[in-house]
Chains A and B, each alone.
Chain A
Amino acid sequence: MNLKKNALLTFILLISLLAGAQKFTVSGFIYEKGSKETMPGAVVFSEALNIGTTSNDFGFYSITLPAGNTKLIYQLVGYKAVEQAIDLKSNMVIHIDLENESTTSEVVISAEKKEKISEDSRMSTIEIPIDQIKNIPALLGEKDVLKVIQLMPGVQKGSEGSSGFYVRGGGPDQNLIILDDATVYNANHLFGFFSIFNGDALKSVELTKGGFPARYGGRLSSVLEMRMKDGNKEKLKGEVGIGLISSRFTIEAPIKKGKSSILISGRRTYIDLLIYPFLPADAKSGYFFYDFNAKYNTVIDDKNRLFVSGYFGKDKFYFKPQSNYEELKGSFQWGNATSTVRWNHIFSDKVFANTSLIFTDYKLGINFKESNTQPGDSYSFELKYRSGIQDWGAKYDVDYHPNPNHYIRMGASAIYHQFKPSAVVIKSSDEFENQTSVKTIRSYENGIYIEDDWTMTNKLKVNIGLRVSHYNNDKKNYFKPEPRISARYLLGNDVAVKASFATMNQYIHLLSNTGTGLPTDLWVPATARIKPQNSKQFAGGIVKDFSEKNFTLSIEGYYKKMNNIISYKEGASFLLVDDFEGAEEINWEDNVTDGKGKSYGAELLIQRKFGKLTGWIGYTLSWTKLKFDKLNNGQEYFARYDRRHDISLVGIYKIRDNITLSSTWVYGTGQAISLPLATFQTDPSTPSFGQDQSGLNNFIYNPTGEFYQGKNGFRMAAYHRMDIGVQFSKQLKRCERVFELSFYNLYNRKNPFYYFIDSNGSRNKLKQVSLFPVLPSVSWTFKF
C-alpha cells in the first residue's frame, strides 16, 4: 500500500514538474506600422520573466516561454512600444506593427526602453539611426552615411572631404562594406568626396569595429552592414530631393497590398549638364555620377519570403573636343554593381533560414580614341583599359532559438572572385602598335561558422563562435580557424563590463599609394607569394545606460595586431601598375612588400538616440604603427592615418515639430606624412674589381636623396571644422516639404589637404593647399 502511495505521489510530482516546465514558442515578424517594413533589431521581452530576444536582420523573432499568462513588450528606438498580453498554451505566431514616434502624438514612455547596450553581449558595435544621418549637415548638402560613420569614435577619416574611413588602425581595404549581403568594393563617388550610398533607400546602418561575431569574415578591421528598405507594402510613398549638385528620388509602392512591394531610388549630379553648353567647342568635357537602387520583395506564404535587390552606380569624366578633321574623345569611368536574391524560409517557430545569391562587380575603365581623317595624313589610335573585380557568391544562414538562453546562428558561404588587375587593348592604324593584354586571376573564398549568443547566468552573457575560412588561388590553399568570443558581465543597475577577442583573415588586398579611395586603387588576391592578412584584436570596456536621461555611455580600450598587410615598395607607384606600356612586364607582386601593424587606444562614446536633443560625443585616443622590412629601412613608423586625438560632437535639436537644428564639430590630430627637411647627393658604389669601368654608372646613377625625420615623421596641422544646418518642414496639401540650409566649415578653417615646397624666391617655403572654405548649401525635399 505504501509502495502504491509512493508511486502515485512520484507520478503526481513528475506530472506537476513537467507541467511546470512546459514551454511554448512565440514567433513572428515585427513590422513598421503603415509600411509593413520589417524591423531588425527590435527587442521582444517579458518583464515578469526577465526573458528577452531581438528580431533578426529580416524582422523575425522567436522566444520560448513557460506556459501561462504573460505580457510581451515589443520595442525599438524611435518607435512606440507595444504591449501584448498572451495566454500561452501552445506555440503562437504573433506579428507586431510598431508605430513610428514621429507619426504619433501620444506620450511615449521612454523610461521603459529596454534596448540597452548594457544587456548586449556584443561590443564595439555602433548603430546609427537613418533619421540622424539625414539630419546631420553635409558637404554641399549631400547626405552621406560614410561621413557620419567617420564621426564615430574609433573611426578616422582620410583626407579632407573623403568618404574613406579607417577603423582602429586598419586600412580602408580592411572594411567589409555590405549592402544587402553584397560586398561593395569601392564605396566612393568623385574620388571619395561622396559615398555611393543613398540614405533614402537605406533602412539601417551598423558598424562593427571589434568583437566580431563568427558570421562575419573576410576583413580585418570592420564590418559596415547596410540594409536597404524593403519598400512600402501598404501605400505609395515617395521622396524627391533637389540639391545644389544633384537631385534624387525614391518611390516605394505595394504591388499586392500587404504582400509585395517595390522600391526604386536614384540620384544624379548635373553640373556637367549645366555647364556643357557654355564650354568652348574645343574643350567639351564634363563629370557626373549617378546611382540607382531597386528592391522587390514578396511574401510567398507564411513560411517563405523573397527579396531581390540591386545597386548600380557609375562615375564618369569625359572629354570630347570638336574639330573638323580630328576626332578626339576619352573617358575615365568607374562603377559598382551589386545584386542579391534572398529567400527566407521558416522551418519552424524556432528555426529561420536565409539563402542568398550574390553578385558584385567593380570596374574601372579608361577609353581614349584619336583619329585624323585629313586626306594624306589619316591615322587612328584607340586605347581601352579595364581593371576590376567581380564576385559570384552564395550564402546560407540559419538562426536557431532552442530556448531563451541560446540564440544559435550557423551558416556557410562561398565566393568566386575574378580579379582583373589590368586589361589593355590597343588598336591603331599602325599595326605594330596593336596589342592586347588581359590577365584574369580567379580565386575561391569559403567559410563556415557557428555562434551562440548564450545567457549563462543573469549577469553573464557570451557570444561564442568559430569561423573556419578557406581560400584557394591557383594551387595554393589556405585553411584558417577564426575563434571569436565576446562577453558582458552585469555589475548591476544598467552597468556592464565587456570583453572580446576576435581573429580575422582577409584574402584580398587593396594596392593603394594614397589611401584616399581613388578608383585606381587595385584589388588583388592573396597568392602563394602574397599571404592573406590576419589580425587578432582584444577589446575591453565598460558601458552604462542612463535610462531616465535616454543616453548611453561606453568606454572601450583595444589592442589589435595585424600581419601580412601589404604596401607598395618604396619608389613604387600605382601609376606604374596602370601604365599600359608596361602592362605585360609589371607584375604587381613585384611591387609590393608585406609587413605588420599594430593599433591600440581607447574610445569614449556618449550617445543619445532619441528625444528632443539627440547626437553624441565621441573621443578617441589611439596609436597606429606599421613595420615593413622593406620600408623605412625596416624601422617601425606611424601610419599616415595615425591620429592621437580625435573628437567629434554631434547635436541634433528639434526646436519645434517643424524646425530642426543640427551641428557637428570635429577635431583630429594632423596626419603623419613624410616631409623632406634636407637633400643630399647619394654615392652608390659600382663593382669594378680593379678595372676602372668608366660609363658603368649609367644604370645606377647618383640621385638626390632626401632627408626625412623617418617615414611619416612629420605631422600635418590639426584638422578641425564645424558644420551647421537647419531644416524647416511644412505640411502642404499633398506632401511635406523640407527646406534645408547648411554651412560646411562654418568658421572657414583652412585645413591642409596637402603640403608642397615652394622653391620660388630666395628661401623655400612650405605651402599648404586647402580644399573647402565655408560652403553654404540649400536643398529641398518633398515627401508624399
Chain B
Amino acid sequence: MKKNSYILLVIAISILASCTTDSDIKVPEVEPEVVVSCFISPQDDTLKAFVRLTDPLFGSNQVNGNELVEGATIKIKNGVSEAIFTLNSEKERYELVASDFPINSGATYQLEVSVPGYDLCSASTTVPSNSPVFNFAELIQLDTLIDNEGSSPNGNFKFKWNDPLGQTNYYRLVISQKNRFQVEPGVFEEYYSSIWDELIDDTNKDGEEISKEPNVFVFLNNGSGNTDPFNFYCYLLNTDEAYFRYHYSVRNIQPGNPFAEPSIIYDNINNGLGAFGSSNGSLSIIEY
C-alpha cells in the first residue's frame, strides 16, 4: 500500500510534469555554524559534550558536519566555580568527570563553547529539582511462550509515578535490556539494547499519577547454557524543556520520506545551534 500509493503518485506527477529547471529564486547561502550538544544530570559520572559544525547545502562553504570539532574549548560554570571539558578522541566527544564538577538538583549551570573563528556560544540550564521515582514498575507478562530457539515475544510493562502539581514537567522513560551473548563456549559478553524510549509531558495530567504501559519486543535468548535472569533497566528522567524539545525534534526526523513533515531541530545555544539541557532521574531494575 505504501509502495503502491507512492508509485501511483509519482506516475501521476511524472505524466503531468513538464520540466525541471534550475530555480531562479535566490537561495540564502549560510555560513557554517557551531552545533553544541550537552546534557547533564546529577546521576552521571561523566559529563559529555559534542561540538560540530553545520554543513551548508548551498554556497561555497561546505564542511563535513559529521566530524567532531577538535579545537573547541568547553567551559561549564555554576556561578561559583568552573571546569573545562577535555577531548576524548577515542570516543569522539568531550568529557568531564562529574566528581570534579558535581551536578546538583535545582542548580543552574552555564556552558560556554569557543571554537576558533566563530563567536562564543553559550547557554544555560537549571537541573530539575525533582527526581521522579516509580510508584510501580513491573514486567506484567509476556505475550507468547518462550521456545528454545529464542523468540522475541512482546513484554507488557507497567509503570506509575506521581507528577508534582503546578508546574510543567517533562519526562523521558527508557527501558534498556542487558543481554549476554556467548562469544565462545562458556565466555559471555554483555551488551545493552534500548527497547523503549518515550518522551512524555504532563499535559492534562498535572499533579496526577502518570501511568504508562509499554508493550515492546524483548529479547529472550541468553545463549545456550546461560541461566542468568534477564535484567531490564528502567530509567525515569525528569528533564528540562530544552532536553525534552531537542530530543523530541530529533526523534521526529524521518530521513528519506519526502511526505513527512520536516522536523525543526530545537536549539537554545546563543550564537549557535544544538542544545544544552539537563535531567534528574531514577533507575529501577526489573529481573525476569
A interface list, Cβ under 8 A from B: 161, 190-191, 193, 287, 317, 330, 332, 366, 368, 383, 385, 513-514, 518, 520, 567-575, 578-581, 630-634, 670, 674-691, 693-700, 703-711, 714-717, 750, 752-753, 755, 757, 763-773
Contacts and interface: CB of A to CB of B under 8 A. Distances in A.
B22 A765 contact: yes
Contacts of A700: 194, 197, 247, 250-251
B262 A708 contact: yes
A683 to B, nearest CB: 4
Interface in B37-79: 37, 39, 41, 43-45, 48, 50, 52-60, 62, 65-66
A694 B194 CA distance: 10
Given A574-B259, A717-B24, A773-B18, 8 more contacts: A568-B261, A569-B261, A678-B30, A678-B55, A682-B253, A684-B37, A703-B255, A711-B262
B27 A695 contact: no
B141 interface: no
B191 A694 contact: yes
A695 B58 contact: no
Contacts of B17: 753, 769-771
Contact of A690 (B44, B62, B172, B257): B44
B41 to A, nearest CB: 7
Contacts of A685: 37, 39, 48, 243, 247
A660 B192 CA distance: 77
A750 B19 contact: yes
B202 interface: no
Contacts of B2: 575, 578-579, 581
B280 to A, nearest CB: 11
Contact of B28 (A674, A709, A757): A709
16 contacts: A190-B12, A332-B8, A385-B1, A569-B261, A571-B251, A571-B253, A581-B1, A675-B27, A680-B35, A686-B174, A698-B194, A700-B250, A705-B249, A716-B25, A717-B25, A766-B27
B8 A193 contact: no
B184 to A, nearest CB: 19
B20 interface: yes
B271 interface: no
A486 B33 CA distance: 53
Given A678-B32, A710-B264, A696 B55 contact: no
B5 A575 contact: yes
Given A571-B252, A684-B250, A368 B4 contact: yes
A689 B44 contact: yes
Contacts of B247: 684-685, 700
Contacts of A383: 1
Interface string B241-268: 0010111111111110101111111100
Given A573-B261, A682-B250, A770-B21, A695 B193 contact: yes
B253 A573 contact: no
Given A575-B259, A678-B33, A690-B43, A632 B28 contact: no
Given A193-B16, A366-B5, A688 B44 contact: yes
Contacts of A766: 22-23, 25, 27, 58
A245 to B, nearest CB: 12
Contacts of A684: 37, 246-247, 250-251
B288 to A, nearest CB: 18
A485 to B, nearest CB: 34
A633 B264 contact: yes
A679 B55 contact: yes
Interface magnitude class on chain B: 35 or more
A684 B37 CA distance: 7
A695 B264 contact: no
A678 B8 contact: no
B139 interface: no
Contacts, number: 250
Interface in B210-265: 233, 235, 237, 243, 245-255, 257, 259-265
**Interface core residue of B172, B237, B246 (most chain A CB under 10 Å):** B246
A757 B59 CA distance: 13
Interface string B88-125: 00000000000000000000000000000000000000
B18 A772 contact: yes
Nearest to A695: B191
Contacts of A755: 23
A700 B252 CA distance: 11
B56 A680 contact: no
Given A513-B260, A573-B259, A700-B194, A680 B273 contact: yes
A518 B17 CA distance: 17
Contact of A687 (B237, B251, B252, B255): B237
B284 to A, nearest CB: 11
Interface of B: 1-2, 4-6, 8-9, 11-12, 16-25, 27-28, 30, 32-33, 35, 37, 39, 41, 43-45, 48, 50, 52-60, 62, 65-66, 172, 174, 176, 191-197, 233, 235, 237, 243, 245-255, 257, 259-266, 273-274, 279, 281, 283
B160 to A, nearest CB: 19
Counting from the closest, the 8 A-B pairs by CB-CB distance are: A571-B252, A683-B37, A699-B194, A570-B252, A685-B39, A693-B192, A678-B54, A683-B50
A631 to B, nearest CB: 7
Given A687-B41, A772-B18, A773-B19, A679 B253 contact: no
Given A678-B33, A679-B54, A680-B65, A699 B1 contact: no
A706 B265 contact: yes
B235 to A, nearest CB: 4
Contacts of A570: 249, 252, 261-264
A520 to B, nearest CB: 6
B196 to A, nearest CB: 8
Contacts of A709: 28
Contact of B57 (A332, A677, A687, A767): A677
Contacts of A578: 1-2, 5
A631 B262 CA distance: 9
A385 B52 CA distance: 46
B272 to A, nearest CB: 10
A678 B1 contact: no
Nearest to B14: A769
A511 B50 CA distance: 38
Contact of A696 (B193, B249, B263): B193
A612 B46 CA distance: 83
A177 to B, nearest CB: 23
A765 B58 CA distance: 7
A383 to B, nearest CB: 7
A344 B197 CA distance: 61
Nearest to B29: A677
A703 B252 CA distance: 10
Contacts of A705: 249-250, 253, 263, 265
A572 B50 CA distance: 28
Contact of A569 (B33, B50, B252): B252
Contact of B260 (A567, A572, A714): A572
Nearest to A707: B54
Contact of A677 (B1, B30, B194): B30
A186 to B, nearest CB: 15
Contacts of B50: 683
Contacts of B193: 695-696, 698-699
Given A520-B5, A711-B264, A681 B52 contact: yes
B279 A695 contact: no
Contacts of A631: 261, 264
B265 A687 contact: no
Contacts of B33: 678, 707
Given A570-B262, A706-B265, A707-B265, A330 B4 contact: yes
Contact of A633 (B18, B37, B56, B249): B249
Contacts of B1: 366, 383, 385, 578-581
